[in-house]
Structures are given as structure tokens and as C-alpha cells.
Amino acid sequence: MLRFVARRAVHGVIILVGLSVLLFALLVLTPGDPVELIAASTPDIKPEDVAALRAYYGLDDPIYIRYFKWARSVLHGDLGYSRTYGTPVIGLMGERLRNTLALLATSVFLAFIAGVAIGIYSALHQYSVVDYTVTVLAFAGLAMPVFWQGIVFILVFAVWLPWFPAGGMMTPGVEPGWPMFWNRLWHMVLPVAVLATSGMAAWTRYMRSSMLEVIRQDYVRTARAKGNSEKVVINKHALRNALIPIITLVALSIPGILNGAVLTETVFSWPGMGLLLFQAVLGHDYNVAMAVLLFVALMTVLFNLFADVAYAMVDPRIRYE
């Protein structure tokens, strides 16, 4: 197992280096740069000032020189300085990461609990009205784009039925303590619902299929033949084996949910990593954009590794040499 983890770690480093080169090239080759934005917003700026700014930021250097300078700083733990926010990138990301993790953890937890429970119930009541209803709703949840679903939620639950705020993380002027805590939870309802819906729809379908496959196995029939109650048969014999592929799918889906947070946070103006990435790309803030994109890539690599390790831990038949 340790050799497998070490080998996958080396592969992960190679993937991250390759992605960093590709992402840096794509960002740099995007039309426009920070100095052009400054010049456009400052009509009376002098040409020599523009040239000095381009030299200061190293924008006149060849792309490979700029990449090696950036990579050297990252290897020394320096993610650079945000031109848009005027603060170090690492401090900016730390603040935004907490907000994104609050959305991500809550949505994944709710989606997993609801998806597994609904999938089990649907499998045990195959071809019933509930099963058909769950199937239709699950396919609808998979088909709806995240940004469109967020707009619909805002229209229905913030405009037509003003139950929840349309965006933001907190109402201005709220007192610290429990009032602030409950106010933030109130603002989280809609973005969490949007992020959880897509995950719940997929995991419901996978859980239903996995449970249907398991309950038809010989050992489940044997457990029933021994006189065990249906509750014991499902919880003790079927559920654990049905959850094996779901664990892998959940681990592999978390980076996708994090990617969906980019659109969700933008739609709901939630000050997290997703909105930070959107604003950094629009403002040509390369250091911030590279840091967020590489963080997402790192999470993808780590959760892929976690899925493989978890699969071997829950299924003793799996062995990595």
C-alpha cells in the first residue's frame, strides 16, 4: 500500500507541474493584462509610466522566464501579491477558503445523507410510484446546469417567495454572536441547496443501482433464508457492500462540487474561492488565478488518491501491490 501511495504521489506531482505550465500559459496568453486595465482606467497616464509598470511586473519578459520566476517563488512558499486586492495571495486565499469549505462541507454532507437514504428506499421499492418519481427528479437534477439552477432558486425563493436572501454572506449590521451565526446560516441555504442537488441526484442513482445489484446476490438470499429480519439483512449484509462503490464516487465527486462552487458563488455573490477565481480572471490577477486553479487541481489529485485508498480499506478483496 505504501509503495502504491508513493507512486501515486509522484504521479500527482508530475500532473500538477504539467497543469501549472498549461494554466500559466493560458492565463498569460489571454487578451489583455493588468497594465492595460490600469491604462484604460487612467486616461492621462503617460507612455513612459506604462512602460515602467510593464517592466516592474515583468510583463515584457518571455513567457518561460515569467513562469520560472513564478514557480521559484511558489517553491519558496510565496504565492505572490494580488494586484487587485493589494494583499498577499496566501492570506487572501485563507480567508476565502474558510467560506468555501463551509459551503462544500455542508452540501456534501447533506447530499450524501439524502442521496444514500433515497437511493436505498428507491431500490427497495423498485418500480413503485416513489421509485419513478425519484428517477425523474434525479435525472432532472443531473441535467440542470448549476448557474441556471441558482438563478431559478433566487427567482423563486428570494424574489417570488422572499424567504431567503438573494446573495451575500451576511446582512450588514448584524450583532456578533448567535445572531450573526444564524444570519450566515440563513444566507447559506440557497447556495448549499444548489450545490447539494447535483451531488444528491448522482449519488441517489448510483446508490439505487448498487443496492439493487447487492440485494440480488446469493449471500443476501441466504441471510433471508436463515430467518433474519429485513432490517438486519439490509443494514448488516447489503448496505456495507452497496456503499463500497459509493465511497469512491463521493471522493471523486468532491472536486467537481468544488468546481461547481465557482458558478454558485458567483451567482450568489458568496465571498469564497469560486468568486475569487472569477474576479481574478476578469481582472487579469494572474497570481490569484494560478493559486486558486492549482488548489483545485491539488484537491482533485488528493481526492483521487483518497478514493483508491478508501476503496481498498472497505473492500478486503482489493490489494495494491
- pLDDT for 302: 85
56 and 101 share one domain: no
pLDDT band at 255 (very low <50, low <70, confident <90, very high): confident
Assign residue 124 the CATH number of its domain: 1.10.3720.10
Residue 145: which residues within 8 A CB-CB, separation 6 or more?
Answer: 263
113 and 223 share one domain: yes
11 and 135 share one domain: no
Nearest of 287, 288, 273 to residue 67 by alpha carbon: 287
* In a domain? residue 10: yes
- 290 vs 306 pLDDT, higher one: 290
100 and 18 share one domain: no
- pLDDT for 232: 81
What percentage of the chain has pLDDT greater than the value 90?
2
Number of domains in the chain: 2
* Boundary (domain end) residue, out of 75, 110, 131: 75
144 and 14 share one domain: no
* In a domain? residue 131: yes
Q: Angle at CA 204, nearest 5°, toward 272 and 165? A: 35
List C-alpha distances in Å: 129 to 124, 138, 140.
12, 14, 17
Is the pLDDT at 272 greater than 80? The verdict is yes
* In a domain? residue 90: no
117 and 193 share one domain: yes
39 and 131 share one domain: no
- pLDDT for 264: 85
Q: What is the dihedral of CA 100, 101, 104, 108, to 10 degrees?
A: 180
* Boundary (domain end) residue, out of 18, 41, 75: 75
* In a domain? residue 82: no
68 and 100 share one domain: no
* In a domain? residue 89: no
Nearest of 133, 34, 141 to residue 84 by alpha carbon: 34
* In a domain? residue 83: no
Longest dimension (CA), the chain: 88
Is the pLDDT at 34 greater than 80? The verdict is no
* Global confidence as pTM: 0.80
- pLDDT for 321: 57
What percentage of the chain has pLDDT greater than the value 70?
93
Domain residues for the domain of 178 are 95-314
Q: Angle at CA 209, nearest 5°, toward 204 and 215? A: 120
- pLDDT for 300: 83
* In a domain? residue 321: no
* In a domain? residue 87: no
62 and 99 share one domain: no
Amino acid identity at 131: D
111 and 233 share one domain: yes
23 and 156 share one domain: no
- pLDDT for 229: 80
- pLDDT for 237: 76
Is the pLDDT at 41 greater than 70? The verdict is no
Convert the pLDDT of each residue in 100-125 to its tens digit. 888 888 888 898 899 889 988 888 88
20 and 120 share one domain: no
- pLDDT for 319: 60
Nearest-angstrom CA–CA distance, 198 and 296: 19
- pLDDT for 308: 74
* Boundary (domain end) residue, out of 75, 103, 132: 75
Contact 167, 269 (CB under 8 A): yes
